[in-house]
Structure 1
Amino acid sequence: MSIRNNFAIMAGRTTRWGLHTFLKGGSSYPGMLSQKLDPTVLEALSKDYEVVIVTGTNGKTLTTALTFQILKQKYPDIITNSTGANMLQGIVSTFLEHHSYKKSSKKKVAILEVDEASLVYVTKYIKPKAIVFTNVFRDQMDRYGEIYTTYQLMLDGAALAPEALIVSNGDAPIFNSKETINERIYFGFDHLPDGETQAHYNTDGVLCPYCHTILNYNFISYSNLGKYYCPNCGFKRPELTYRMTDILKMDHQSSRFVIDDETFEITIGGQYNIYNALAAYSIGRIFDVSADQIRAGFQSSKRVFGRQEVIQIEDKEITVNLVKNPVGLNQVLDMIGRDPEPFSLVSILNANAADGTDISWIWDADYESISEMTIKQVTASGERVDDIKTRLEVAGVSPENLQVIPAITDLINSFKQAPTKKIHVLATYTAILQLRKELANQNYIEGGM
């Protein structure tokens, strides 16, 4: 390492120690400082690591967490950005946290969640072994634009590391729409018999990228994901390297399924999370992790920030889910709809930069499905409470069943007074941060992420 490398690392580590010791936080600033002092510091910090990057619209955090636990079974010298700080400064901070001047004889591995738009800045300095593409859905229109813009950002980032293997969701047509410099393999679902169907009319990314004919499907898992083909020009889903072939159980808390003739279980609900598990499994196999070790990794995984995170408030069980776009919200609604017990529902909508300032997405989400569930009470909250209140009313939530609590700080008391033991919370990113801060202030959880 150069003198400049070492100075930037020392400054970053000292700053991190001060922030964590005295302020109990600061996951990105140390990296920002080190990067400013030495723009190449990430290259120096990561040079001894075999790196896997996980990127895409939905599922990055859980896929990263599952992959980390799987690889940890075989490679104990492993790091990850568990706080979810997934832009360049957060990635630098992750390596700063684990930096040591001592040489290790063991293989060092890093599993990194990376924001789609930040990938091009990270791969400028890191040359990963593999890059996972989870999916691309319409998300934060003010920042990313349409799905094709987002995908191009991901391709541009991958192209800076041409030796990296792209491990893509083969059920997403967009991932087969362009040639890449990088070698590609695919994972996907093969759990249903072939039939004939098309995606719902309010679905993005269902035109053939070559002739623009509406794609047909032998089956659809959700949204535009499935076994697709073009009836006009022959464009179709690529061959899958890793396949999920059967769903044995799927409820609001867990799933059991078969991949490559092996049965696995994850303690988190929802079909969308089986995709995340399949992506993590794929990386495990690439790293020669055994099926038994992968099973152990799945069982070791805990629910992470805002992903079916359960918080106990007196006799109430609060399950918190991050929602940020129509496809993700619809999958969460499908998951909570599988809860056999009556529950209350709280929808918290913010529109800060980290959430996406464009909230038009709530009108593309299927809030109408709420009317089919056993929900005793619905609550609207957040900085855009009037918008979510209106959306819920249009979706058919009756005025007598809808309460409005604008301030997140007032939600804790409403949780205690809810007519059900279970409460499902749907919240945007900054809303979850605000809620967690208030819960920490009232000693229901520890502070921080």
Structure 2
Amino acid sequence: MSVKSSFAVAVGRSSYWFLHTFMKGGSSLPGKLTNQIDPDILATLGRDYEVVIITGTNGKTLTTALTVKVLQAKYHNILTNPTGSNMKQGIITAFLTHKTGRSGKKIAVLEVDEANVIEVTKYIKPTAFVFTNIFRDQMDRYGELYTTYKKILAGVAKAPDATIIANGDAPIFNSQSLPNPIIYYGFNHQQDGERKAPYNTDGVLCPVCNHILHYKFLIYSNLGKYYCPHCGFSRPKLQHSVTALTHLTPTQSQFVVDQQALKINIGGTYNIYNALAAYSVGRYFDIAPDKIAQALDADEKVFGRQEVIQVGTKAVTLILVKNPVGLNQVFNLISLNHKPFSLVTLLNANYADGIDTSWIWDSDFEKMAAQKLPCYIAGGERVTDIAFRWQVAGVPKDSLIQIKDLDQVAEKIKNLPTQQVYVLATYTAVLQLREKLAAQGFIAAANRKH
């Protein structure tokens, strides 16, 4: 390590110690300071690691957490960025703060923002990429689907020998020929039929001839067993697939992959995709299916991903939402709950959330309005927007409460008419609400910062 690199690392680690000890934070700034001193520091820090980059629109954080659990079944020296700080500075911080074991293979499992893949692969040549999905998200940052995919592929081009482990049910990941070895995963649990995606679904044009794709079966959005009746473009062969869904609840999913029964302690079909991606990485690293099953069954909660917080007598389930596809899947998930519940929706529009809030009009609020829940709360910095969306969806005024201030939201939750409460919130709103609940003693100090 050069003198400049050594100095940069010392500054980064010292700043992390200070911020972590006294401010209970430090996931990004130490990496930013280190990078300012030595712009090539990531190449130095990542030199001895086998790196797995996990990217895509939805599911990065949970897929990363599950992949780490799976790999820990065989390997004991694994670095990751569990805070979800997935841009270059956050990834540098993850390397700075990792306590390296003395022996054994060193693996880094990194959640990477789609536009930052190239900022990592400029310096590190990964062993594998994992592609979860690409949906319309934060249009101000990413643009349309193929624009986002081009950002990812710009980074992949720096590592043409790395294996790509991709969601085979997503047509976009089969749209371009790449030199990389590719492993596809997906669903194969239904009999073939004939259908099209819903009329307002993105990404259903054939990338070869621009005709509308058809589906033998559809999982959600544009994901499924697709084919083009005009030119023959179709889903590639899957190396790993879900062959049965055995038991689904709002808090648990049981299913079969490659004849191996699996269980994850989190609900939602979209989270089965995340587990399937982690399973596929595990098999790539030659971990036995039964060992993967044991790892996935761990009852580990991830920040903002169906995290349950006890607020007085209320069980509050906090779920991060950020785009139409993800929100619709969450609506489907909570609709499985047959017990009474109240629903809180918090909308912010900061840079980390995406400043364009028009996406809420492409989400199926009407589905939840039709359930006539005991209480709906609209809140956050864009409370007027989210409240108006509920009103248009059909929620009566006497069932809808508008509260901008999150301190007041936290107080109102304690007095809601149901024991179960779902809070669906954009990223900065999740952070803000957790801070309010932590200040009131409802979140343990160790879990306050993520």
- TM-score with structure 2 setting the length: 0.98
Distance 1:220 1:44, change over 3 A: same
For each residue in 1:96-122, what CA deviation from the matched residue of structure 2 results, as whole angstroms up to 9, or x when unmatched? 00155xx73211111110000000101
Q: Give distance in 2, aligned partners of 1:219 and 1:133.
A: 21
2:278 & 2:159 partners in 1: Cα distance?
21
Aligned to 1:438: 436
The match for 1:380 among 378, 381, 387 is 378
Corresponding position of 1:234: 232
Q: Unaligned stretches of 5+ in structure 1?
A: none
The residue identity in structure 2 corresponding to 1:118 is N
For 2:371 and 2:66, locate their aligned partners in 1 and report how far apart those are by CA, in whole Å.
Answer: 30
Q: Cα deviations across residues 103-159 of structure 1 (Å, max 9, x unaligned)?
A: 732111111100000001011111111100000000000110101100011111111
Q: Distance between the aligned counterparts of 1:138 and 1:419, measured in 2?
A: 35
In structure 2, how many angstroms separate the alpha carbons of the residues matched to 1:259 and 1:6?
46
Aligned equivalent of 2:364: 366
Measured in 2, the distance between the counterparts of 1:19 and 1:320 equals: 26
Within 2, Cα distance between the matches of 1:156 and 1:29?
Answer: 26
Aligned partner of 2:284 in structure 1 is 286
Matched residue, 2:62: 62
Query: Which residue identity lines up with residue 439 of structure 1 in the other structure?
Result: L
Residue equivalent to 1:194: 192
| Match for residue 255 of structure 1 among 240, 253, 256 | 253
Task: Return the alpha-carbon distance in structure 2 between the equivalents of residues 373 and 65 of structure 1.
Answer: 33
Contact 1:65 1:301 in 2 (8 A): no
Aligned-pair CA distance for 1:181: 2.8
- Could you tell me how far 1:301 is from its partner in structure 2? 4.9
Aligned to 1:137: 135
The answer for the alignment partner of 2:214 in structure 1 is 216
Gaps of 5+ in 2: none
* 1:423 lines up with 2:424 in the alignment: no
Q: Output the CA distance in 2 between the equivalents of 1:260 and 1:183.
A: 21
The residue aligned with 1:24 is 24
How far the C-alpha of 1:245 sits from its partner, in A, is: 0.5
Match of 1:2 in 2: 2
SS in structure 1 of the partner of residue 148 of structure 2: helix
Q: Please report how far the alpha carbon of residue 12 of structure 1 lies from its aligned counterpart in structure 2 after TM superposition.
A: 0.7
Report if aligned partners of 2:114, 2:152 keep a CA contact under 8 Å in 1.
Answer: yes
2:187–2:224 CA contact under 8 A, matched in 1: yes
- Structure 1 distance, partners of 2:199, 2:130, is 28
> Partner amino acid for 1:33?
L
Query: Alignment partner of 2:177: what SS?
Result: coil
Q: For residues 340 and 388 of structure 1, what CA distance do their matches in structure 2 show?
A: 25
Q: Distance in 2 between matches of 1:157 and 1:181?
A: 13
The answer for the alignment partner of 1:448 in structure 2 is 449
Following the alignment from structure 1 to structure 2, what is the Cα–Cα distance between the partners of residues 125 and 440?
38
Aligned amino acid, residue 208 of structure 1: C
How far the C-alpha of 1:49 sits from its partner, in A, is: 1.0
Whether the aligned pair in 1 keeps the contact of 2:260 and 2:290 (CA below 8 Å) is: no
Following TM superposition, the consecutive aligned residue runs of length 4 or more in structure 1 with deviations greater than 2 angstroms are 371-374
Cα deviation, residue 372, structure 1: 3.7
CA offsets 1:336-377 (integer angstroms, 9 cap, x no match): 000110100000000000000000000000011003436210
Find the residue that maps to 1:418 and give its secondary structure: coil
Distance in 1, Cα, partners of 2:230 & 2:151: 29
Q: Does 1:96 align with 2:63?
A: no
Supply the AA of the counterpart residue of 1:432.
V
1:276-355 residue pairs with structure 2 within 5 A? 276-355=274-353
Deviation at 1:300, TM superposition (A): 2.2
Structure 1 residue 6: Cα displacement = 1.2
Q: SS of the counterpart of 1:302?
A: coil
CA contact (8 A) 2:323 2:359 kept: yes
Looking at structure 2, the residues matched to 210 and 393 of structure 1 have their Cα atoms a distance apart, in angstroms, of 42
Structure 2 residue matching 1:300: 3-state secondary structure: coil
Q: Which amino acid aligns with 2:92?
A: V
How many percent identity over aligned positions?
A: 56
One-letter amino acid of the structure 2 residue matched with residue 378 of structure 1: Y
Measured against aligned partners, the alpha-carbon deviations of 1:238-268 in whole angstroms (never above 9, x if no partner) come to 0001111100011111100000001000000
Specify the SS of the correspondent of 1:68. Answer: helix
Shift of residue 412 of structure 1? 1.4
Answer yes or no: is the 8 Å Cα contact 2:372–2:395 preserved in 1.
Answer: no
The one-letter code matched in structure 2 to 1:244 is: V
Q: Distance in 2 between matches of 1:199 and 1:141?
A: 22
Aligned length: 447
| Corresponding letter in the other structure for 2:415 | Q
